[in-house]
């Protein structure tokens, strides 16, 4: 079943129609958290701008083809929680008709700043790409719901064409109906590998193996959060059913430790069983023919807009830092809120609940009239607590194998943009005592290229930092590449765009 | 002689490099890794072109020669040292007249200057219609963290030690002379001399050592583009500020420097704001720098900015570095307050500090020739801050 065409959500050929009316809240990111937050804030009477870089609302989890292609690319079977998605879309559409919601799609936010009693949000409109039109938004409150992205660990051959992130495979499928590859091997750790494997198998790819680094018994060490989230069991059982139907083998305590190419593309994947600390067990290596590899080691919160605003971080418990928030999703910066994966990776249901809780805080702090009743709020907060406990249990059950650097040879590229090898990173550590990824970047250029360390940062961190230290991402003052011409023009944009 | 150098930035590393070469017993103390402060937040400028005749230019000329020497020892490739030359361009005939007058005074002070009639002969992608400029062949560039790490490694090869920690206080003997430095964890490092090379934090380190100097932070942003094939050959900047230099420093605050790097990125620097240690992003500065760079090189309009960084340049109230012994606590030698010129002035500063420690000239640095940089200028004859 395809999504019904919803003209109210379309941005139209001439860019979004916006007004220069004052807004109460800017929400960056129209994924589960951002949509839920915007809907609740609008229902409470606020005027909201919802900004997203994508061509349709939904974020990564509810990624959809561009609006014009949704009729010909059925993707409903790939999604979960579509009832929530449709309800949120309906709410947003209704508020857009009254003019209280401004939905800005194809808008890429490159920075935010505190100003007077609020925030400025600086974006470029790429509706008519490659043209970039600068847009400056102002509001007293800012809610950042920018999600997370795949955490990658390098291995020999990971830079071959045909090696993708698990999240990349999923978004090609959801966003364009593209099944990448005919023989696919998935590897890494975490519950996300299963839906990707199930979706690819259901769409006709031969998923030759799913290599899960964790032990199958790991979940059982945290029974309480699991038992309190029966919906997660049902979801896992559904994936299990799909994988069994398509005879997809799931190998636990196994990792992809190398890939080899042929004619400029991945052809063979090397897997190995792992020791307790993650070292490959001698004699267990297998060679599997494959044309596509999807790898995911969990996710890293996308904090690029939050860090420069100066908010405190907290250990997310999965090897990364996330934004520190109070029980109302307030950051330590007054007027700045965040919800979803930016507070620690935990999935879409958690993101929706956090989005709603965050919006209630905005309503409260701005003394808006339309607060939801206390019982509903208490229920959302309970849902947040339950899902957070589940996410923590998942993170503990799916750690990064401590000995993964043993897979690397000295010539394995770690930073692909600047072609910096594991050997170069190791000698920066040994010879110049570099003990964080920032210092390694200064000495080797790892993380100085196009992706600015978004891909290699966590890996470099693991190679040079103490084992128990979570990854603190580099501060990136420019959240997305933007042309100097658009910036030059933006300087001349003195008022809110109209 | 035991010397503790406080600060492992480019200046501290250069002090250690020269002091160790002179046979002194050197320990470099820093709370963080090498070059992690302002050193890593600049473009790596080694400039003569932007300096007026005076004490700073004298040090810069010495330092330029010592950069050549250091480049030979460390390997020019290894520290990305590039004698690419600077090109200052005027955008109006009036600015060109002012620039030529300024360059003539620099030439009289020993700087090599070459008038340029057609800017696009040197920079084919520069904006059309620029009336002219001045080429400064001695201007150069270095990757500052690699250079600081290289200088420090070379110092260690000559026996210097590095130590992680924070200077908390001076330890002095009965005669008031330095006998050591107490670190934040309570350790005392024995020392006959302490060099305050703490850069932007030099004011705080001076206070802790009992010799307060006024070092203020000036925030600067630098923009970095996507990597490109070589498009810009020199350090190119506008002469508009030259007319302002004589009257005020304010005019410097938005003048931009555009240059390519070995890695293919183009650096656009640098703004100057007096906002204390406020780390906040200022989008207005970024857009202003972008607009200025696009005016100099119109092709940049289609080039992506991928990164921006900012740092705090340390400056003294008179915008000259403070280099030399502090009479209030014998044994303390300052080497800070270099503002935006610390990379270029580092080897000269290291040699001058070493000369002060030795009490005789070292590597062309004669303390008697650089009295304008002494801390005495901020003190009354009795040693009280003016």
Report the pLDDT value the prediction gives residue A4, as an integer from 0 to 100. 40
CB of B33 within 8 Å of a chain A CB? The answer is: yes
Report the pLDDT value the prediction gives residue A60, as an integer from 0 to 100. 93
Please, is B311 exposed, middle or buried when counting C-beta atoms within 10 Å of its C-beta (0-12, 13-18, 19+)?
A: buried
For the segment A349-367, the average pLDDT, to the nearest whole number, is 97
Residue A490: list chain B partners with CB under 8 A: 283, 287
Residue A477: list chain B partners with CB under 8 A: 221, 281, 286, 307-310
* Percent over 70 (pLDDT), chain B: 96
User: For residues A35 and B248, what is the distance between their CA atoms, to the nearest angstrom?
Assistant: 52
User: For residues A460 and A157, what is the distance between their CA atoms, to the nearest angstrom?
Assistant: 17
3-state secondary structure chain A: CCCCCCHHHCCCCCCCCCCCCCCCEEEECCCHHHHHHHHHHHHCCCCEEEECCCCCCCCCCCCCCCHHHCCCCCCHHHCCCHHHHHHHHHHHHHHHHCCCEEEECCEEEEEEEEECCEEEEEEEECCCCCCCEEEEEEECEEEECCCEEECCCCCCCCCCCCEEEHHHHHHHHHHHCCCCCCEEEEEEECCCHHHHHHHHHHCCCEEEEEEECCCHHHHHHCHHHHHCCHHHHHHHHHHHHHHHHCCCCEEECEEEEEEEEECCEEEEEEEEEECCCCCECCCCCEEEECCEEEEEECEEECCCCCHHHCCCEEECCCCEEEECCCCCCECCCCCEEECHHHHCCCCHHHHHHHHHHHHHHHHHHCCCCCCCCHHHHHHHHHHHHHHHHHHHHHHHHCCCCCCHHHHCCCCCEEECCCCEEHHHHHHHHHHHCCCCHHHHHHHHCCCCCCCCCCCCHHHHHHHHCCCCCCECCCCCCCCCCEEHHHHHHHHHCCCCCC
Query: Is there a contact between A476 and B307 if contact means CB atoms under 8 Å apart?
Result: yes
In the predicted structure, residue B291 carries a pLDDT above the cut 70: yes
Q: Which residue of A has its CA nearest to B226?
A: A450
Tokens 């026996």 belong to B159
CB atoms < 10 A from the CB of A150, how many?
25
CA distance A149 to chain B (A): 18
In DSSP notation, B284-310 reads HHHHHHHHHHHHH-GGGGGSEEEEEEE
User: For residues A260 and A160, what is the distance between their CA atoms, to the nearest angstrom?
Assistant: 8
| pLDDT band at A428; cut points 50, 70, 90 | very high
- Pairwise pLDDT comparison (A94 vs A467), residue with the higher score: A94
What ipTM was estimated for this complex?
0.91
Give tens-digit pLDDT for A14-26. Answer: 333 333 567 999 9
CB of B277 within 8 Å of a chain A CB? The answer is: no
Give tens-digit pLDDT for A130-139. Answer: 899 999 999 9
Residue A259 dihedral angles phi and psi, to the nearest 5°: -140, 145
User: For residues B151 and B143, what is the distance between their CA atoms, to the nearest angstrom?
Assistant: 12
Task: Say how many CB pairs under 8 Å bridge A and B.
Answer: 110
Give tens-digit pLDDT for A82-92. Answer: 999 999 999 99
In the predicted structure, residue B71 carries a pLDDT above the cut 70: yes
B322-325 β-sheet, strand order: B161-164, B25-30, B2-6, B193-196, B332-336, B322-325
Structure tokens at B170: 């001076």
Nearest CA to A301 out of A277, A327, A331, A328 is that of A331
In the predicted structure, residue A7 carries a pLDDT above the cut 50: no
- Pairwise pLDDT comparison (A68 vs B86), residue with the higher score: B86
Report the pLDDT value the prediction gives residue A495, as an integer from 0 to 100. 38
Report the pLDDT value the prediction gives residue A20, as an integer from 0 to 100. 56
Residue A453: list chain B partners with CB under 8 A: none
CB atoms < 10 A from the CB of A223, how many?
10
For the segment B142-167, the average pLDDT, to the nearest whole number, is 96
Residue A122: list chain B partners with CB under 8 A: 283
Alpha helix segments (H runs only) across B75-219: 93-108, 119-122, 144-157, 202-208
Cα-based angle A359, A360, A362 (whole degrees, multiple of 5): 65
Report the pLDDT value the prediction gives residue A360, as an integer from 0 to 100. 97
- Eight-class DSSP state of B258: E
Bridge partner residues of B130 (DSSP): none
Report the pLDDT value the prediction gives residue B256, as an integer from 0 to 100. 83
Give tens-digit pLDDT for A404-413. Answer: 999 999 999 9
Q: Would you call the peptide bond into A409 cis, given omega within 30 degrees of 0 as the criterion?
A: no
Give tens-digit pLDDT for B97-112. Answer: 999 999 999 999 999 9
Q: Give yes or no for a contact between B130 and B117, defined as CB atoms under 8 angstroms apart.
A: no
Query: Is there a contact between B304 and A481 if contact means CB atoms under 8 Å apart?
Result: yes
Report the pLDDT value the prediction gives residue B231, as an integer from 0 to 100. 95
Structure tokens at B174: 């009965």
- Eight-class DSSP state of B351: H
In the predicted structure, residue A159 carries a pLDDT above the cut 70: yes
A264: left (phi over 0), alpha (psi -120 to 50) or beta: left
User: For residues A91 and A440, what is the distance between their CA atoms, to the nearest angstrom?
Assistant: 47
| Kind plus residue range of the DSSP H or E element containing B12 | helix B10-21
Handedness of CA A354, A356, A359, A360 (dihedral sign): negative
Residue A276 dihedral angles phi and psi, to the nearest 5°: -55, -35
Give tens-digit pLDDT for A38-92. Answer: 999 999 999 999 999 999 999 999 998 887 888 888 888 888 889 999 999 999 9
Structure tokens at B150: 């290289």
| pLDDT band at A435; cut points 50, 70, 90 | confident
Q: Give yes or no for a contact between A325 and A33, defined as CB atoms under 8 angstroms apart.
A: no
User: For residues A142 and B45, what is the distance between their CA atoms, to the nearest angstrom?
Assistant: 38
| pLDDT band at B364; cut points 50, 70, 90 | very high
Report the residue from A309, A432, A485 with minimal CB separation from B34: A432
Report the residue from B40, B301, B305 with minimal CB separation from A478: B305
Report the residue from B35, B146, B305 with minimal CB separation from A487: B305
Mean pLDDT of chain A: 90
B 142-201 residues with CB < 8 A to A? 145-146, 149, 153, 162
Report the pLDDT value the prediction gives residue B214, as an integer from 0 to 100. 96
Give tens-digit pLDDT for A252-296. Answer: 999 999 999 999 999 999 999 999 999 999 999 999 999 999 999
| pLDDT band at B264; cut points 50, 70, 90 | very high
Query: Is there a contact between B301 and A490 if contact means CB atoms under 8 Å apart?
Result: no
Q: Give yes or no for a contact between B194 and B209, defined as CB atoms under 8 angstroms apart.
A: yes
In the predicted structure, residue A186 carries a pLDDT above the cut 80: yes
- What is the Cα gyration radius of chain A? 22
Tokens 């030529």 belong to B100
In the predicted structure, residue A496 carries a pLDDT above the cut 80: no
End-to-end CA distance of chain A: 37
A 251-270 residues with CB < 8 A to B? none
- Eight-class DSSP state of B333: E
Report the pLDDT value the prediction gives residue A2, as an integer from 0 to 100. 40
User: For residues A361 and A366, what is the distance between their CA atoms, to the nearest angstrom?
Assistant: 8
- Eight-class DSSP state of B203: H
Report the residue from A438, A481, A485 with minimal CB separation from B294: A485
In the predicted structure, residue B166 carries a pLDDT above the cut 60: yes
CB of B226 within 8 Å of a chain A CB? The answer is: yes
For the segment A167-191, the average pLDDT, to the nearest whole number, is 93
Report the pLDDT value the prediction gives residue A120, as an integer from 0 to 100. 95
Report the pLDDT value the prediction gives residue A8, as an integer from 0 to 100. 35
Give tens-digit pLDDT for A100-131. Answer: 999 999 999 999 999 888 999 999 999 998 89
Report the pLDDT value the prediction gives residue A492, as an integer from 0 to 100. 64
Report the residue from B34, B263, B302 with minimal CB separation from A485: B302
In the predicted structure, residue A190 carries a pLDDT above the cut 70: yes
In the predicted structure, residue B242 carries a pLDDT above the cut 80: no
Angle between helices A422-432 and A457-464 (to 10 degrees): 40
CB atoms < 10 A from the CB of B231, how many?
17
Between the alpha carbon of residue B288 and those of residues A46, A492, B88, B91, B221, the distances in Å are: 34, 9, 19, 17, 11
In the predicted structure, residue A306 carries a pLDDT above the cut 70: yes
Q: Give yes or no for a contact between B264 and B306, defined as CB atoms under 8 angstroms apart.
A: no
Interface test with B, best of A133, A137, A417, A477 (most B CBs within 10 A): A477
Report the pLDDT value the prediction gives residue B40, as an integer from 0 to 100. 92
Report the pLDDT value the prediction gives residue B234, as an integer from 0 to 100. 96
Report the pLDDT value the prediction gives residue A221, as an integer from 0 to 100. 74
Structure tokens at B323: 């280099």
CB of A488 within 8 Å of a chain B CB? The answer is: yes
| pLDDT band at B275; cut points 50, 70, 90 | confident
Report the pLDDT value the prediction gives residue A370, as an integer from 0 to 100. 83
Report the pLDDT value the prediction gives residue A307, as an integer from 0 to 100. 96
CB of A487 within 8 Å of a chain B CB? The answer is: yes
Structure tokens at B199: 């850069």
Residue A112: list chain B partners with CB under 8 A: 281
């Amino acid at each position: 079943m395809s999504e019904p065409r919803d003209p109210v959500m379309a941005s139209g050929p001439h860019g979004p129609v916006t007004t220069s009316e004052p807004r109460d809240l800017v929400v960056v990111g129209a994924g589960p958290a951002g949509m839920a937050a915007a809907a609740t804030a609008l229902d409470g009477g606020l005027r909201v701008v919802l900004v997203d870089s994508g061509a349709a609302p939904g974020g990564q989890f509810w990624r959809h083809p561009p609006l014009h292609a949704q009729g010909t690319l059925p993707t409903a079977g790939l999604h979960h929680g579509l009832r929530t998605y449709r309800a949120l879309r309906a709410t947003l559409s209704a508020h857009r008709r009254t003019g209280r919601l401004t939905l800005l799609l194809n808008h890429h936010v490159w920075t935010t700043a505190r100003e007077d009693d609020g925030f400025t949000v600086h974006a470029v409109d790429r509706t008519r790409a490659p043209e970039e039109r600068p847009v400056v938004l102002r509001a007293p409150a800012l809610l950042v719901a920018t999600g997370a992205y795949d955490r990658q660990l390098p291995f020999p051959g990971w830079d071959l064409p045909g090696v993708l992130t698990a999240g990349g495979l999923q978004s090609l499928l959801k966003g364009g109906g593209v099944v990448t590859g005919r023989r696919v091997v998935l590897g890494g750790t975490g519950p996300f590998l299963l839906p990707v494997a199930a979706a690819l198998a259901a769409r006709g790819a031969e998923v030759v193996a799913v290599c899960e680094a964790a032990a199958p018994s790991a979940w059982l060490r945290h029974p309480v959060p699991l038992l309190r989230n029966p919906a997660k069991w049902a979801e896992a059982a559904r994936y299990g059913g799909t994988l069994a139907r398509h005879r997809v083998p799931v190998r636990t305590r196994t990792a992809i430790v190398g890939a080899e190419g042929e004619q400029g593309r991945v052809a063979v994947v090397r897997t190995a069983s792992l020791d307790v600390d993650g070292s490959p067990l001698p004699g267990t290596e297998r060679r599997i023919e494959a044309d596509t590899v999807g790898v995911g080691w969990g996710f890293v919160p996308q904090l690029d807009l939050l860090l420069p605003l100066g908010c405190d971080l907290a250990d997310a418990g999965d090897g990364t830092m996330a934004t520190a928030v109070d029980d109302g999703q307030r950051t330590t910066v007054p007027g700045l809120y965040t919800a979803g994966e930016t507070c620690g990776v935990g999935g879409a249901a958690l993101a929706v609940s956090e989005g709603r809780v965050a919006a209630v805080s905005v309503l409260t702090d701005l003394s808006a009239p339309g607060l939801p009743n206390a019982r509903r709020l208490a229920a959302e907060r309970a849902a947040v607590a339950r899902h957070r406990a589940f996410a923590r249990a998942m993170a503990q059950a799916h750690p990064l194998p401590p000995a993964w650097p043993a897979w690397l040879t000295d010539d394995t590229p770690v930073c692909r943009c600047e072609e910096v090898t594991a050997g170069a990173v190791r000698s920066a550590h040994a010879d110049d005592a570099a003990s964080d990824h920032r210092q390694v970047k200064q000495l080797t250029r790892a993380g100085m290229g196009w992706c600015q360390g978004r891909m290699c940062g966590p890996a470099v961190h693991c190679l040079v930092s103490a084992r128990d230290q979570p990854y603190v991402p580099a501060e990136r003052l420019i959240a997305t590449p933007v042309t100097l011409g658009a910036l030059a023009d933006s300087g001349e944009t003195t008022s809110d765009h109209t | 002689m035991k010397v503790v150098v406080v600060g492992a930035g480019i200046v501290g590393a250069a002090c250690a490099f020269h002091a160790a070469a002179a046979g002194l017993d050197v320990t470099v103390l820093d709370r963080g890794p090498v070059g992690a402060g302002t050193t890593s937040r600049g473009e790596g400028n080694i400039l003569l072109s932007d300096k007026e005749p005076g004490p700073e230019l004298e040090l810069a000329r010495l330092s330029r020669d010592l950069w050549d020497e250091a480049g030979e020892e460390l390997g020019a490739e290894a520290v990305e040292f590039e004698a690419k030359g600077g090109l200052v361009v005027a955008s109006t005939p009036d600015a060109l007249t002012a620039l030529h007058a300024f360059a003539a005074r620099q030439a009289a002070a020993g700087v090599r200057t070459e008038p340029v009639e057609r800017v696009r002969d040197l920079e084919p992608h520069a904006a059309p219609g620029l009336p002219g400029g001045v080429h400064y062949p001695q201007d150069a560039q270095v990757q500052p963290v690699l250079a600081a790490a290289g200088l420090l490694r070379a110092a260690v090869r000559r026996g210097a030690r590095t130590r992680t920690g924070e200077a908390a206080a001076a330890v002095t003997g009965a005669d008031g002379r330095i006998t050591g430095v107490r670190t934040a964890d309570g350790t005392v490092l024995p020392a006959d001399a302490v060099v305050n090379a703490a850069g932007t934090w030099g004011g705080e380190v001076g206070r802790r050592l009992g010799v307060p100097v006024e070092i203020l932070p000036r925030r600067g942003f630098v923009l970095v583009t996507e990597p490109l094939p070589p498009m810009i050959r020199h350090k190119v900047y506008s002469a508009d500020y030259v007319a302002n230099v004589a009257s005020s420093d304010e005019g410097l605050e938005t003048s931009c420097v555009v240059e390519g790097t070995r890695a293919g990125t183009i650096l656009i620097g640098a703004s100057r704001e007096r906002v204390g240690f406020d780390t906040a992003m200022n989008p207005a500065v970024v857009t202003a720098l972008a607009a200025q760079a696009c005016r100099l090189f119109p092709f940049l309009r289609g080039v992506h900015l991928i990164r921006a960084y900012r740092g705090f340049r340390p400056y003294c109230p008179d915008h000259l570095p403070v280099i030399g012994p502090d009479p209030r606590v014998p044994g303390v030698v300052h080497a800070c307050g270099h503002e935006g010129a610390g990379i270029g002035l580092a080897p000269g500063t290291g040699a001058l500090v070493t000369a002060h420690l030795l009490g005789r000239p070292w590597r062309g640095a004669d303390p008697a020739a650089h009295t304008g940089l002494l801390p005495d200028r901020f003190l009354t004859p009795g040693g009280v801050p003016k």
